[in-house]
Amino acid sequence: MQLKTKIDAEDGRQELRISRKFELPLELLFKAYTEPEILEQWMGTKVLKLENEKYGSWQFETTDPRGNKHRFSGVIHEFVPDRQIIRTFEMVGTGFGVQLEFLEFESITEETSRLDMHIVYRSAELRDQYLKIGMPRGLSMAHDRLQEAAEKYK
Amino acid sequence: MQLKTKIDAEDGRQELRISRKFELPLELLFKAYTEPEILEQWMGTKVLKLENEKYGSWQFETTDPRGNKHRFSGVIHEFVPDRQIIRTFEMVGTGFGVQLEFLEFESITEETSRLDMHIVYRSAELRDQYLKIGMPRGLSMAHDRLQEAAEKYK
């Protein structure tokens, strides 16, 4: 089955370009990335901190089926409501390093919108590790859940 | 004349590796990057904000010979005293974008130390723009000033 979230991973490069179209108005798509209540539903993660502002920071935590806790965190370099978030991202305590993420939100029609993500990694090897652990499929499934969860807030 | 700060810019890549050895103890080199009083001397910039901590942020401002003000700013993802700073960096209001910087500080002997910087850019084109405006020479000269300024604090 083809994934709805498209990932462009050029060989040997330390970046990924990701694009997903949602059947959601732009404002609601942006809320799904910034309001803890919606975020927690589709990411399956607990939002410990989410300062939606320039120079803010964020921390999420997930508990895996074995009960182990995993922490994700970063800082927000830029925050433009309904348009752009530039942030760092790290899976804390793993060897995956710190990456820089550019998220651009765009309206297509009144009822549809698009998210374009550009992720820059410290190395091509680290990027490839993410691909290897199934990140494309995982992200697309998470976005499927986002669509479903956000619909309830229409 | 050969520059004392070495820059490795592999063709077509969106990153730079920078290395400089200083005739300074590690602790003093780290201070030169974190204490506004020393920083302002060698960077020639006013430190408007410098929160030396994880999730902190920073803002510098320079005034050019024509009196125009230029703002630099970013967020600090990681801060390990005398060892590591991971931060974002942006020349505000220019087209140079946001970059992710990994600064590693290391002791060589009691009186010498090394700074290794790894800068990851949003694209190879943006990195090349930095090279084109003379960043390698500018950085090496700034590091020369750092050496001189920090010596006074020995």
**Separation in Å, CA B27 to CA B54, B87, B115, B148:** 19, 19, 12, 15
Can you tell me the mean pLDDT for B122-139?
Answer: 96
Least confident among A55-59, B60-64, B115-119: B60-64
State both tokens at B51. 């929160």
Q: Judge residue B95's burial from the number of C-beta atoms within 10 Å of its C-beta, 0-12 exposed, 13-18 middle, 19 or more buried.
A: exposed
Query: CA of B109 to nearest chain A CA: how many angstroms apart?
Result: 28
pLDDT (0 to 100) of residue B86:
98
A110 phi/psi in degrees, rounded to 5:
-60, -25
Say yes or no: A98 contacts chain B, CB-CB below 8 A: yes
pLDDT (0 to 100) of residue B97:
94
Contact B77 A90 (CB under 8 A): yes
* 8 Å CB contact between A113 and A106: yes
- Tens of pLDDT along A74-127? 999 999 999 999 999 999 999 999 999 999 999 999 999 999 999 999 999 999
Question: DSSP alpha helices (H): ranges in chain B?
Answer: 26-34, 36-43, 124-132, 135-151
Can you tell me the mean pLDDT for A48-55?
Answer: 98
Can you say whether residue B43 is alpha, beta or left, with left for phi > 0 and alpha for psi between -120 and 50 degrees?
Answer: alpha
pLDDT (0 to 100) of residue A2:
86
pTM of the entire predicted model:
0.96
- Tens of pLDDT along B133-146? 999 999 999 999 99
Q: Cα separation of A59 and A72, whole Å?
A: 6
- Nearest residue to A71 via CA among A59, A80, A82: A59
pLDDT (0 to 100) of residue A80:
98
Question: DSSP alpha helices (H): ranges in B12-86?
Answer: 26-34, 36-43
pLDDT (0 to 100) of residue B65:
87
ipTM of the complex: 0.94
Q: Which domains does chain B have, with CATH numbers?
A: 15-151 (3.30.530.20)
- Strand ranges for B2-154 from DSSP E: 6-8, 15-22, 46-50, 57-63, 69-80, 84-91, 98-107, 113-120
For chain A, give the percent of residues with pLDDT over 90: 96
Contact B74 A78 (CB under 8 A): no
CB contacts, 8 Å: A55 with chain B: 57, 75
User: Is it the case that residue B1 has pLDDT exceeding 80?
Assistant: no
* Structure confidence at residue A52 as a pLDDT band (50, 70, 90): very high
Q: Judge residue A83's burial from the number of C-beta atoms within 10 Å of its C-beta, 0-12 exposed, 13-18 middle, 19 or more buried.
A: middle
pLDDT (0 to 100) of residue B9:
97
Q: Give the Cα-Cα-Cα angle A25, A30, A33 (nearest 5 degrees).
A: 135
Q: Cα separation of B8 and B31, whole Å?
A: 25
CB contacts, 8 Å: B80 with chain A: none
Query: How big is the A-B interface in CB pairs under 8 Å?
Result: 57
Contact B77 A76 (CB under 8 A): no
